[in-house]
C-alpha cells in the first residue's frame, strides 16, 4: 500500500501515519521528496487492511493499493526516475552509459589493454569479473582477490570507475572495498541473502535479470536491495531462456519499455550474453539504445580468440570502437547522447 502525503504535509503528520502502520505490524519505507513524502507500507497482510484507516489521517492525499508484489521498485512509490552514481558516472540521465570490458579479469596486461581500448572508444565504466559464477565447478572461477587488486590498479591508472560481480554474501565487504558498483549476476538474481548483504554495502548495484525470471520477479528481487536502504540500483536485461536456440539467450527488448513504465530504476542492456556470438552483438546493442535503454554492458577483450571466458561473444577493441560510432548516431536520434 502506498500513502501519498499532501504537498507540505508536516513531519508530525507523516509520523502519525508511520505510527499507525507500526501498530498494525507493517513495515515502513519513507520516501521524502522535495515537495512530497510518500510512505510505502510493507507486509504480507496489507491486503486485509482497509485503505480508509490511512486515508482519514491528517495530511494524507491518497492511499493506493499496489497489487504488484514489488513496492519500492515501483513507479507508484517513486515517480521520478532514479539516477545512479557509479564513481561519478550518472546512469539514468540523458547520457547512454557504456560499460565495457572483459568477461573475466585474466592478467594485468589483458585488463589494462581492455580498459585503455574501451575508454578510448568512449566507454565510461570498466567491467571485469574477478569472481565468476560458472555453470561447471571445473571451469575457470576467476582470479578472485588478485582480480580485484588488478581492477583497483587499472582503475587508478586508466582513471575509470569499475564494476565487478559479487557471488557470495561473505565477499560483499571485500568486493565493495575495490569496486565502484557491484554486479549481481543472472544466476544469483534470487539469492536473497546476497541481495540483502549487497543492499547494505553502500555501493550501487547492477542487478541482472535471472534468465528464467519474469520482469515482476526481477523487480521484486530489486525490492530486496531497496528494502535495505540501497537506493542506487540499476537493472540489466541480459536475455532470457526461450525455445529459440539460434542465440545463447533471447534478448527481451520489451523489458526496456516495460521497466520504464513500471519502475523508476534505470535499465541497461547486456547484448553480449544474449547474443553469445560477436557478430550478433552490434545489432542487439543498437536495438537496445533505440528502445530507450539507459546504458549497455558489452564484453570487450583485447584478444577475443585467447579469452579464458566468453571469447566468442566478446568484441575486439576495434569492433567495439566501430560500434560506438553507430551507437552515437542512434542515441542522437532518440534524444540521448553517449
Using the rule CB under 6 A, is 129 a contact of ligand PEP?
yes
Give the distance, in angstroms, between the CA of residue 135 and the centroid of all CA atoms in the same chain: 22
Using the rule CB under 6 A, is 301 a contact of ligand PEP?
no
Using the rule CB under 5 A, is 310 a contact of Mn ion?
yes
Place of cell 507500526: 22
Judged by beta carbon, residue 103 or residue 234, the one nearer Mn ion is 103
Q: Answer yes or no: are the C-beta atoms of 185 and 167 closer than 8 Å.
A: yes
What single-letter DSSP state applies at residue 245?
-
Q: Residue 298 forms beta bridges with which residues?
A: 100
Contact pick of 203, 273, 286, 301 for ligand PEP (by CB under 6 A): 273
Judged by beta carbon, residue 39 or residue 105, the one nearer Mn ion is 105
Contact pick of 1, 103, 167, 315 for Mn ion (by CB under 5 A): 103
Using the rule CB under 5 A, is 270 a contact of Mn ion?
no
Give the one entry of ligand PEP, Mn ion, none that residue 313 binds, where binding means its C-beta sits below a cut-off of 5 to 8 angstroms depending on kind. Answer: none
Give the distance, in angstroms, between the CA of residue 80 and the centroid of all CA atoms in the same chain: 17
Q: Residue 98 forms beta bridges with which residues?
A: 296
Judged by beta carbon, residue 46 or residue 113, the one nearer Mn ion is 113
Judged by beta carbon, residue 75 or residue 134, the one nearer Mn ion is 134
Using the rule CB under 6 A, is 103 a contact of ligand PEP?
yes
Q: Answer yes or no: are the C-beta atoms of 222 and 166 closer than 8 Å.
A: no
Give the one entry of ligand PEP, Mn ion, none that residue 238 binds, where binding means its C-beta sits below a cut-off of 5 to 8 angstroms depending on kind. Answer: ligand PEP
How many residues form the binding site for ligand PEP (CB under 6 A)?
Answer: 9
Using the rule CB under 5 A, is 275 a contact of Mn ion?
no
Using the rule CB under 6 A, is 117 a contact of ligand PEP?
no
Judged by beta carbon, residue 237 or residue 310, the one nearer Mn ion is 310
Judged by beta carbon, residue 71 or residue 238, the one nearer ligand PEP is 238
| Helix, strand or coil, per DSSP, at residue 303 | coil
Written as nine digits, the cell of 186 is 543472472
Cα gap 266→292, rounded to integer Å = 10
Place of cell 556470438: 277
Judged by beta carbon, residue 73 or residue 103, the one nearer ligand PEP is 103
Angular region, 144: left φ>0, alpha ψ -120 to 50, beta rest: left
Using the rule CB under 6 A, is 186 a contact of ligand PEP?
yes
Q: Work out how close the CB of 294 gets to ligand PEP at its nearest, in angstroms, rounded to a whole number.
A: 17
DSSP result, 89-138: EEESSSB-EEEEE-SB---HHHHHHHHHHHHHHT--EEE-BSS---SSTT
Q: Work out how close the CB of 199 gets to ligand PEP at its nearest, in angstroms, rounded to a whole number.
A: 18
Site track for ligand PEP across 140-179, x = CB under 6 A:
----------------------------------------
DSSP E strands, the chain: 2-5, 27-32, 37-42, 60-64, 84-86, 89-91, 97-101, 125-127, 162-165, 181-184, 205-208, 233-237, 267-269, 295-299
Judged by beta carbon, residue 161 or residue 185, the one nearer ligand PEP is 185
Q: Answer yes or no: are the C-beta atoms of 17 and 57 closer than 8 Å.
A: yes
Residues near Mn ion (CB under 5 A) are 103, 310
Q: Which residues bind ligand PEP (CB under 6 A)?
A: 103, 129, 133, 185-187, 208, 238, 273
Amino acid at each position: 500500500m502506498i500513502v501519498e502525503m499532501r504537498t507540505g504535509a508536516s513531519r508530525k503528520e507523516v509520523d502519525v501515519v508511520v505510527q499507525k502502520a507500526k501498530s498494525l505490524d507493517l513495515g515502513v519505507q519513507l520516501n521524502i521528496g522535495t515537495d512530497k513524502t510518500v510512505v510505502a507500507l510493507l507486509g504480507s497482510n496489507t491486503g486485509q487492511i482497509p485503505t480508509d484507516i490511512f486515508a482519514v489521517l491528517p495530511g494524507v492525499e491518497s492511499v493506493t493499493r499496489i497489487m504488484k508484489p514489488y513496492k519500492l521498485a515501483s513507479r507508484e512509490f517513486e515517480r521520478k526516475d532514479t539516477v545512479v552514481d557509479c564513481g561519478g558516472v550518472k546512469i539514468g540521465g540523458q547520457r547512454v552509459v557504456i560499460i565495457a570490458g572483459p568477461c573475466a579479469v585474466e592478467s594485468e596486461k589483458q585488463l589494462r589493454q581492455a580498459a585503455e581500448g574501451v575508454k578510448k572508444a568512449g566507454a565510461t565504466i570498466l567491467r571485469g569479473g574477478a569472481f565468476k559464477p560458472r555453470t561447471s565447478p571445473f571451469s575457470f572461477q576467476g582470479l578472485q582477490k588478485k582480480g580485484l587488486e588488478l581492477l583497483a590498479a587499472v582503475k587508478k591508472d586508466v582513471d575509470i570507475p569499475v564494476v565487478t560481480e559479487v557471488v557470495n554474501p561473505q565477499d560483499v565487504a571485500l568486493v565493495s572495498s575495490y569496486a565502484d558498483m557491484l554486479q549481481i549476476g543472472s544466476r544469483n538474481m534470487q539469492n536473497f541473502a546476497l541481495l540483502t548483504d549487497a543492499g547494505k554495502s553502500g555501493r550501487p548495484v547492477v542487478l541482472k535479470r535471472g534468465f528464467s525470471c519474469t520482469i515482476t520477479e526481477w523487480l521484486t528481487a530489486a525490492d530486496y536491495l531497496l528494502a535495505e536502504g540501497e537506493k542506487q540500483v540499476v537493472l540489466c536485461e541480459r536475455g532470457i531462456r526461450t525455445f529459440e536456440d539460434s542465440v545463447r539467450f533471447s534478448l527481451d527488448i520489451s523489458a526496456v519499455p516495460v521497466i520504464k513504465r513500471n519502475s523508476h530504476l534505470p535499465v541497461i542492456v547486456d547484448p553480449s550474453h544474449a547474443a553469445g556470438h560477436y557478430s550478433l552483438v552490434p545489432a542487439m546493442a543498437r536495438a537496445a539504445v533505440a528502445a530507450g535503454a539507459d546504458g549497455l554492458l558489452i564484453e570487450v577483450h583485447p584478444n577475443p580468440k585467447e579469452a579464458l571466458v566468453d571469447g566468442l561473444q566478446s568484441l575486439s577493441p576495434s569492433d567495439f570502437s566501430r560500434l560506438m560510432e553507430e551507437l552515437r548516431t542512434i542515441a542522437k536520434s532518440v534524444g540521448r547522447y553517449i
